[in-house]
Amino acid sequence: MLTPVALPDLFSREDCARIIALAEGGALDEARLVGGRAVAEKRRARIAWLDDEGAASWVMARLMRAVADANRDGFGFDIEAFEERGQVALYEEAAGGGFDWHSDVGDGPLARRRKLTVVAQLSEDGDYEGGALEVNGDGAPRAASRAQGGGIAFPSFALHRVAPVTRGRRWSLTIWAHGAPFR
């Protein structure tokens, strides 16, 4: 199945605040694209990476369980591991935050092994306008739920985007599950 799967209630409101605090406690860098090139025009966000050991381990553990369930129930892909750290992204009105249509599968050694993408909404719906995460899993782009703490899982090759944030700021958390490249 290629249609995105909703993952409601991954995190509580307090969990979301804790994850944002973890990201703010580290370095928030200008986002880079799949190939490692900084391309400001396509992606306008700042990002921080969560380690799967230490203070953020509970975050990664919870997401990994949710991905395993979603894969079993919805996708049935061959997933072997989680080979990248969790990515917290901040899209800000002031910076014209957004991320144009793209696939998460690329030519890099990790990007080519991406199988499933999971994005969790860390901000409250009312904190921002615009900023919709839209996924085109089957020919029709659909907006993911904006509910804080909820998430969505979709095949990493599926085109998706974050519409420009027109007011406020949106925080998200993305992880990828990896395995042998699609063929």
Ligand X SMILES: O=C(O)CCC(=O)C(=O)O
**Binding positions for Fe ion, 77-106, rule CB under 5 A:** 104
Q: With beta carbons less than 8 A apart as the criterion, state whether 90 and 47 touch.
A: yes
Q: With beta carbons less than 8 A apart as the criterion, state whether 43 and 99 touch.
A: yes
**Binding positions for ligand X, 123-142, rule CB under 6 A:** 133
Q: With beta carbons less than 8 A apart as the criterion, state whether 159 and 103 touch.
A: yes
**Binding positions for ligand X, 164-183, rule CB under 6 A:** 172, 174
Tokens of 21: 């605090």
The whole-angstrom separation of Cα 167 and Cα 128 is 5
Beta strand spans in 93-164 (E): 98-102, 114-121, 128-130, 133-136, 142-143, 151-155, 159-162
Q: What does 10 interact with, of ligand X, Fe ion, none (CB < 5 to 8 A by kind)?
A: none
Residue 111, interface with Fe ion (CB under 5 A)?
no
Q: How far is the CB of 64 from ligand X (least distance, A)?
A: 17
Contacting ligand X (CB under 6 A), which of 48, 89, 90, 163? 89
The residue among 50 and 54 lying less far from Fe ion, judged by its C-beta, is 50
Residue 160, interface with ligand X (CB under 6 A)?
yes
Amino acid at 21: A
Binding residue count for ligand X, defined by CB under 6 A: 10
The whole-angstrom separation of Cα 160 and Cα 145 is 14
**Binding track over 21-60 against ligand X, x by CB under 6 A:** ----------------------------------------
Contacting ligand X (CB under 6 A), which of 22, 162, 165, 177? 162
Q: How far is the CB of 139 from ligand X (least distance, A)?
A: 19
Q: How far is the CB of 160 from Fe ion (least distance, A)?
A: 6
Report in angstroms the alpha-carbon separations of 49 from 65, 80, 85, 177, 181.
Answer: 19, 21, 6, 15, 23
Residues that bind ligand X (CB under 6 A): 87, 89, 99, 104, 119, 133, 160, 162, 172, 174
